[in-house]
Structure 1
Amino acid sequence: MWRDLADVRRGLLAVGAAAVLALPAAASGEGWIAVDVGHTLVAPGAISARGRSEFEFNLDLARALVDALSARGMEARLINADGRIESLQARPRAAEGARLLVSIHHDSVNAFELRPWQWAGRALDYNDDFAGHSLFVSRDNPDTAMSILCARVMGARLQRMGFEPTHKNGRRREYADFEHAVHYFDGLAVLRHARMPAVLFEAGVLKNRDEELLLRDPQRQARMADGIATALAACLGHGVPADDEATADRRSP
């Protein structure tokens, strides 16, 4: 067994990256995981380099994550699967009672960084300078410490699988964990209104023409979902936030 909280943290990164694949369902503990599909049919988010909406990307990966969690005996439920949720605040309300909320998104870039191009007769835009995943937590969430821990283990597992993070968001967002591209985004409604630990995951940059094709690949989606599910099994089954993570939590003593 790990002897102190620092050992727990180090052990989680190792277990989340490898050995937890063999954990029994009971290791994940009681309760369910809410998997939120970012954006809606009316407000579909960013448009990819080849004209596909972010909502469609989000739905594909969210479904793959639910399947991967279920394969580990962990109950998972989709939020906003039909793309018709009425508000940002309704997302965490729909997750009431969950152990963790994971909101699935795909990243874009600033408008001034986009370049025009033509695809299939359409005038679209792209940026091939940035690629990779990133994660966000809020210090206004009631359990920032656990949110950071699960985000960190997710990032560690994905990197060990060969997925590369992006640090482009570090230009504007403070880091909770530089190595694993975990950022603070305190004002995000889906994170700060949640009554449980919450993480927003940006799976990749859909304005990057090469990465967009990877993000569309069902086999890659399943592999990324498997990595996230493995990390969440480790975090929720064994996670004890380290002392330095607890200081990020703004709850009153």
Structure 2
Amino acid sequence: MAITARRRAGRVAAAVCLALPALSAQAAYVVVDTGHTPARPGATGASGRVEYQYNLVLSGAVAARLTALGERVRRVAADGAEVALGQRARLAPDADFFISIHHDSMQQKYIDAGRQREFAGFSIFVSQRNPRYEESLRCAKAIGEALVAAGEKPSLYHAEPIAGENRPLLDRRLGVHRFDGLAVLKTATMPAVLVEAGVIVNPDDEARVARPDTIERMARAIADGVHGCLRG
């Protein structure tokens, strides 16, 4: 089943990207950003494991897959160094694409109400302040197509009309949202996308995204989506 899903994800990503303008005809230069740092580790999962640890593993798998596909990859914040959000994309100003890997939390009021298990799945974000917004959006959709084809589902709760959320939902089926204020996206000069791979404050989703088979499946889908978009 896992092999079938991966093959389907690759076919879908390739098919979607046939209609997209190529960003690079040769090997692309991709920045893979590990969200947060050990000192500022992001969300804390239901088990107590912090987000940075999840981000580090998945971003490493994404980088490895992109390298295997023939892309040139630079990793950011994978060595534990403190790197300001607004500087991350600027470390490689000549890159063709920037992708930031994260795992998700939720509004505290949901946690306080015991609603953690209601929200699960991935979310993808782009910023309209990015100078290459349309290309960012196209690649975000390609990544979403690959994730859905691999059996993943979007969470969608970031679009809820409440304080702290209310992010415009650009594609419901693919879980693509607009979040103009995200520093790593709006400061990038190249197309840029942020992926929230799963909701780790949900104990069920946290356990799922920690499994090696899930990590491999999601990394392949994310990397194949990026690769297809850049080489389409």
Give the superposition deviation at 1:93. Answer: 1.2
SS in 2 for 1:128: helix
The letter of the residue matching 2:136 is S
Mapped partners of 1:87, 1:220: distance in 2: 29
Give the superposition deviation at 1:19. Answer: 9.9
**Alignment gaps of 5+ in structure 1:** 1-12, 21-26, 117-124, 239-253
Structure 2 CA distance for partners of 1:209 and 1:96, relative to 1, 3 Å? same
Other-structure match for 2:213: 219
- RCO greater where, 1 or 2, for CA within 8 Å and sep 6 or more? 2
Indicate the structure (1 or 2) with the bigger Cα radius of gyration. Answer: 1
Other-structure match for 1:112: 109
Give the superposition deviation at 1:221. Answer: 0.6
The percentage of counterpart residues that share the same residue type is: 40
> After the TM superposition, which parts of structure 1 deviate over 4 Å for at least 4 consecutive aligned residues?
17-20
The letter of the residue matching 2:53 is E
Q: 2:72 aligns with which of 67, 71, 75?
A: 75
Other-structure match for 1:55: 52
Deviations 1:46-105 (CA, angstroms, capped at 9, x unpaired): 000000000000000000001111111112121011222231112111132110000001
Mapped partners of 1:191, 1:60: distance in 2: 21
Give the superposition deviation at 1:131. Answer: 0.1
1:101 aligns with 2:90: no
Mapped partners of 2:45, 2:175: distance in 1: 22
Mapped partners of 1:131, 1:87: distance in 2: 28
Mapped partners of 2:131, 2:112: distance in 1: 40
SS in 2 for 1:159: helix
SS in 2 for 1:89: helix
Other-structure match for 2:27: 30
TM superposition score normalised by structure 2? 0.85
The 5 Å alignment of 1:38-187 reads: 38-115=35-112, 127-171=116-160, 172-187=166-181
CA contact (8 A) 1:36 1:104 kept: yes
Deviations 1:107-132 (CA, angstroms, capped at 9, x unpaired): 1011111149xxxxxxxx88111000
Structure 2 CA distance for partners of 1:144 and 1:18, relative to 1, 3 Å? closer
Give the superposition deviation at 1:233. Answer: 1.6
Give the superposition deviation at 1:234. Answer: 1.2
Mapped partners of 2:49, 2:197: distance in 1: 15
Mapped partners of 2:55, 2:74: distance in 1: 14
The letter of the residue matching 1:139 is Q
TM superposition score normalised by structure 1? 0.79
**Alignment gaps of 5+ in structure 2:** 1-9, 18-23, 161-165
Mapped partners of 2:118, 2:198: distance in 1: 12
CA contact (8 A) 1:17 1:156 kept: no
CA contact (8 A) 1:126 1:209 kept: no
Q: 1:202 aligns with which of 185, 193, 196?
A: 196
Structure 2 CA distance for partners of 1:19 and 1:200, relative to 1, 3 Å? closer
Mapped partners of 2:123, 2:97: distance in 1: 18
Give the superposition deviation at 1:149. Answer: 0.3
Other-structure match for 2:6: none
Mapped partners of 1:49, 1:166: distance in 2: 17
Give the superposition deviation at 1:227. Answer: 0.8
CA contact (8 A) 2:77 2:83 kept: no
SS in 2 for 1:114: helix
CA RMSD of the aligned region, Å? 2.1
Structure 2 CA distance for partners of 1:154 and 1:164, relative to 1, 3 Å? same
